[in-house]
Each structure stands twice: as C-alpha cells, then as structure tokens.
A = this chain, B = another copy of it.
Amino acid sequence: MSTNHAPRPGAEKLDDEQLDLAHRLATQLRVDSIRCSTQAGSGHPTSSLSAADLMSVLLLHHMRYEWSNPGLGSNDHLIFSKGHASPLLYSIYRSVGVLDEDELVNTYRKFGSRLQGHPMPILPWVDVATGSLGQGLPDAVGVALAGKYLDKLPYQTWVLCGDSEMAEGSMWEAIDKAAYYKLGNLTAIVDVNRLGQNGPTELQWEMEKYAQRVEAFGARAVVIDGHDLAAIDSALAEARSNPDQPTVVLARTIKAKGVPEIEDMEGWHGKALPKDMAQRAIAALGGVTDLSITTASPVKSAPQAQAAPSAPVKLPRWDIGEEVATRVAFGAAISALAVRPEVVVLDGEVGNSTHAGDFKDACPERFFEMFIAEQQLIASAIGLSVRGYIPFASSFAAFLVARPYDFIRMAGASEANIRLVGTHAGVEIGQDGPSQMALEDIAAMRAIHTSTVLYPGDAPSTTALVASMADTDGVVYLRATRGAYPVIYGPDERFPIGGCKVHGAGPEDKVALIGAGVTLHKCLAAADELAQAGIPARVIDLYSIKPLDRATLLETCRAVGNRLVVVEDHYPHGGIGGAVMEALADADVGELHVALLGVSGLPSSGQPSELLDAAGISARHIGAAARKIVKA
C-alpha cells in the first residue's frame, strides 16, 4: 500500500481534496469488488458497485474504528445487512489494511477461505452472519440497544441495507423498535439501486415512499443521491448528530455504477463480470490502485464497558411435592441471575405468562420489551450477544421458535450465544387450542447448528438448567410447561447439560419409560401402575434432549432388554423419539423394541388431562405401550 491518509472525522464538510480521496477510494472499492468476484466466478459485484460511494465516505469521514483491535468496546459497528455485497465489504477490509490483496483476490468464495460468499463472523470485523435478507438491521438494533442502555459507549452502529430487503416485515420491526428505544446510535444506509434479483424492486426509485414509511415508523429519513459524495457526507454527519432518533439514509443509487455497459441493467444480479468485461471495466476505472486509508479512532475518552462484579447467585429453592409450573421456576431463576451484570432479558409482550416479566421487577434496566415482534426479539438477543451480554429471550414456545426460526437459524450460522425459553409448550396448555401449542419446536431446535435443547420436568431442574444456560455457548433452548406439577428433585440435585436422571431402576426392570417435561410425570405415573401390575419399569427424565446422555441410554437398553417407551408432548417426527432413535442407530445393544408416543393428529381445546389422553401420551397409553412391548 502506497499512501496513508489521515481521516478527519466529524461534522465539518469534506473539502475538495477529501472529496477527491473519497472518489479514489470508491473507485478502488469498485475495482476490487470486480476483481475478487470475477476471479471467483461468482458473487455480487453489481450490488457492491452501487454502494461503493456510500461506504467510501462512511470510512473516510464518519466511521470510528481501530482496525488492529476489533474487540475494542468503543469501536463503531458496521453490519452489511445486504450480505451479498461481500465483495465491497472485503474490499473495505483491504483498504484499511487488515486484508491483503492476495487473500482478497485469490481466495474469495473458495473452499477454506475466510472470505465466504456472505460475511461470516470468522472474520474478526464481522459481528453477525448475514445473507438471509432482512436480518442485519434487526441484529444491529440489538447492538445499538447495548450501546445506549448497557455499554453506554458512544459507538455508532452503521448498517448497509439493500432495497429488496425492505419488503421483509422484519426490517419494519427493526425500525419501529429502534425508534421506540430512541436509538440515535443506529444508522441504516439503504442502497436503493432499484433492481432486485429478479427485476425491479417493488418501489424502485420511489424515494418519497420509502421516506414516508421510515418517518411513519419513527425514524428520521434522509433522502440523497447515493453517488453524490458531499450529500452522503452531510447525511452521515446528520445521522450521528441526533442522539435520540435513528436515521435511515435512503440513497438513490445505480446498480453496477461505474461499469456503464451494465449500469441499471436487469439480468446482472448476482453475476460476476466475465473476464473480458472485468478487464475493460477496471481499465476504464483507472486500473488497480493501492490506496490505504485509516478510519478515525474511537472516542478516546470513552471508557471500556466494565462488567460489574457479580454478587453470588442465590437460586430459588423448592420443596419436594410442591406443585410449581416450570415457567414459574424460570421466572424465579432468571430473577436470581439478575445479580450477574451480563444477563439481559427480552420479552415478547407475554412476560406475565412466561414469567420473564419477573426479571423486570428484579432488574428493570436490563429488561427490554420487544412487544409482539418475535423476529426482532431474537435479533435483539443476537445483537446483545455481539456485545458480550447473556441475553435470554422468552415467549410462548410456539411463537418463540416458529415465528423467528430463520433468525434462530442464522444465530446458529453466526455461532452467536443466545438463550431462549419457550413456555406453554405442547397440548398440555389446554383450552387455548392448537394455535398456541408448540408441537414442532423440539424438532426445529434440534436441527439448529450449535443448539442445546432442554426440557425439564420440575422446578429445581428448571432452576438449575436456567442457571447453566447462562454459561452455555450457542443457541440454548429451554422448553417450559404451563401447568403446575410436583417437585421431584431436592434443591441440591445437579443437572448437567447432556445428562439425564434415572428413576426407580431395579435389576428386574422389563422396560424403560423415557419422558421429559410434562411426560416425565406421566411416565412416573405409568411406572407406578405397571409396578402394581407386576411389571417393573424404570423412568428416564431426559431433561437434556440435545446433547443426549447416550451412555446412560445404552446402559438402560442393556438393563431392560432394549424395551423402551419414549413419550413426548410434541409431534412424533424429529422430537424426543427421533433423538433417542438416532442415538441408537449404531448402538450394538441387540434388537430394539421401542414404542414412540407423540401427539397424533390435530389437537383441540380442552383440559390438559383430556388433551394428553386424546393425543395418546397419557399414563394410560404409556402403560399400554409398555405392556405390549413386554409381552411381545
């Protein structure tokens, strides 16, 4: 790199020299975006070219970032919500000197490279994986929430958005919550290049319509020509100047800007330029350059956010036999965890039912109400995890898992650390009916990369597992039950993740009944009834569904002649039964005799006991299944 230009952050306008530099940087970003994608033979150069001017001015005059220290707490954040513009992002990294030319040009999109098709946090300057559109801005709301309310650091969160993704409802959940929480430290820059993958976007260049929407949702809209460097500069300065309102810069741009033969032309989304076209384009742009720039330093006076020392956590205790809903135990446990300064709780406007709201009383400053916007609920958790917090997001299990499932999927891809507690799972909820019953959440959550899936059956196990969740990486999900059931375990019992509990094991056991959550209680009842009928049975409390205690499972198989009844308040596909069977695929324990009991058909409203029985998962059905296996 040949030149090093000192940045001039702040509100003063760019002079001619600076404008020239910005132009040269933008040109280099364009050239590099073309180079790496043409070399890879795939990627999105045209979507990078439209935003190059925006990013050039941002870098030179507004972004405050110490590139040698990406973990610095007072660094700004830059999130590419339009993750497909990764050539531009990686070209930025080259321009600030953290990526060398060879890696950029020769490894992009190649196997083994850090420079993947869409940005991944394997790169230390990338906060979150993007590429599923409509997620980067919601995630950034979480980062900005942390900045304003928890870190209390003056960093700005900049987000480059595409125009196509403005059709995702999640973007409006994000703008709404950003405005509600007065996140002046959040700036979205929308690259309105008029063309989506498949043709013109819905609003094309109707900038005023975008602006109306943004303003109606409570943010400040600034409409500019996204290739006018001075206008970009003013807009970004304005964006940072208002501490209490997020800004959405709506930049009218031209897709493929800088390569006239394909500018604003359909059919060039997601296509690398052919080599000859790339050569022509690069030559016309002035060829390869080695401009090296430095962004402004983060505000020096800003202290690093310091974790306050945690007081000892005093978990709630319960008496054996007491009837307590596991959601109540969750509320009590999470409130006890409030002494840990990293713990944050997010609610989807059902905190009085989930008992997440109990935390609000204990620690209102670390409780955030997301209202009924579950995608933003998860995205906020992801953003908070970027800043090192321990977020617990909670709602009814049906809504917590299914509504934002794509956000949970991407949290897995980000390898973000988020904790999810879904209450009111299964037919056990009773009268509200199937719309409120999570019956597919275990299958869905098991399939998430990095996931842990927990389903405790009583208050002490819930309490212990909620405490463990705080220190467990990845996407950690706990399923809780609506109704109150007896406490089974003493207050000092331990519940390691990946473990299970065996009840009533004896040398003559003919069958093992495996349940979790509400079905644990049904298994215990069935075992009592079987014992009275002369069929000794043990019960496994499979509170940790993923990871699953395979060693104990195999030992159990051997002890009971491989006769198992697995019972779950969940559809019988991919849930607890699936988890058990997958663990036994190559078990080498002999022939299996396993009955899988799950919810059959579409449940209705009714009393929990009626619904559990109608679903085929009550003690009566468990007993019958066990008898059939034992007789066979």
Contacts and interface: CB of A to CB of B under 8 A. Distances in A.
Interface of A: 40, 42-43, 83, 109-113, 115-118, 120, 129-134, 164-165, 167-173, 176, 180, 196-198, 201-202, 209, 212-213, 215-218, 347, 349-353, 357, 369, 371-376, 398-399, 401-403, 405-406, 409-410, 412-413, 415, 431-436, 439-440, 443-444, 446-449, 546, 570-575, 577-579, 581-582, 584-596, 601-602, 604-607, 610-611, 614, 629, 632
| 5 closest cross-chain pairs (CB), A and B | A169-B169, A131-B435, A574-B574, A111-B606, A440-B447
Contact of A447 (B218, B369, B575): B575
A604 B116 contact: yes
A435 B591 contact: no
A184 B601 CA distance: 38
Given A132-B403, A169-B169, A372-B167, A578 B571 contact: no
A168 B537 CA distance: 48
Given A198-B350, A216-B216, A590-B591, A117 B432 contact: yes
A607 B604 CA distance: 48
Given A167-B372, A169-B173, A594 B605 contact: no
A115 B449 CA distance: 40
Contacts of A198: 347, 349-352, 357, 369
Contacts of A431: 40, 42-43, 109, 117
A172 B168 CA distance: 9
Contacts of A176: 167, 202
A556 to B, nearest CB: 15
Nearest to A405: B405
B371 A167 contact: yes
A506 B302 CA distance: 74
A111 B405 contact: no
Contact of A372 (B164, B403, B546): B164
B132 A435 contact: yes
Contacts of A432: 42, 117-118, 131
Contacts of A571: 447-449
A115 B432 CA distance: 11
Given A132-B398, A372-B134, A436-B117, A604 B112 contact: yes
A592 B592 CA distance: 8
Given A372-B165, A399-B132, A440 B433 contact: no
A413 B440 contact: no
A561 to B, nearest CB: 13
A272 to B, nearest CB: 10
Nearest to A453: B573
Nearest to A211: B216
A111 B216 contact: no
9 contacts: A42-B432, A83-B435, A109-B605, A120-B434, A165-B372, A212-B215, A399-B406, A443-B447, A588-B593
A10 B98 CA distance: 69
A227 to B, nearest CB: 24
Contacts of A573: 446-447, 546, 574, 578-579, 582
A621 to B, nearest CB: 15
Contacts of A604: 111-113, 116, 120
A286 to B, nearest CB: 29
A433 B213 CA distance: 32
B579 A110 contact: no
Contacts of A349: 164, 167, 196-198
Contact of A209 (B216, B376, B448): B216
Contact of A196 (B112, B372, B578, B589): B372
A429 to B, nearest CB: 9
Nearest to A413: B434
A617 to B, nearest CB: 15
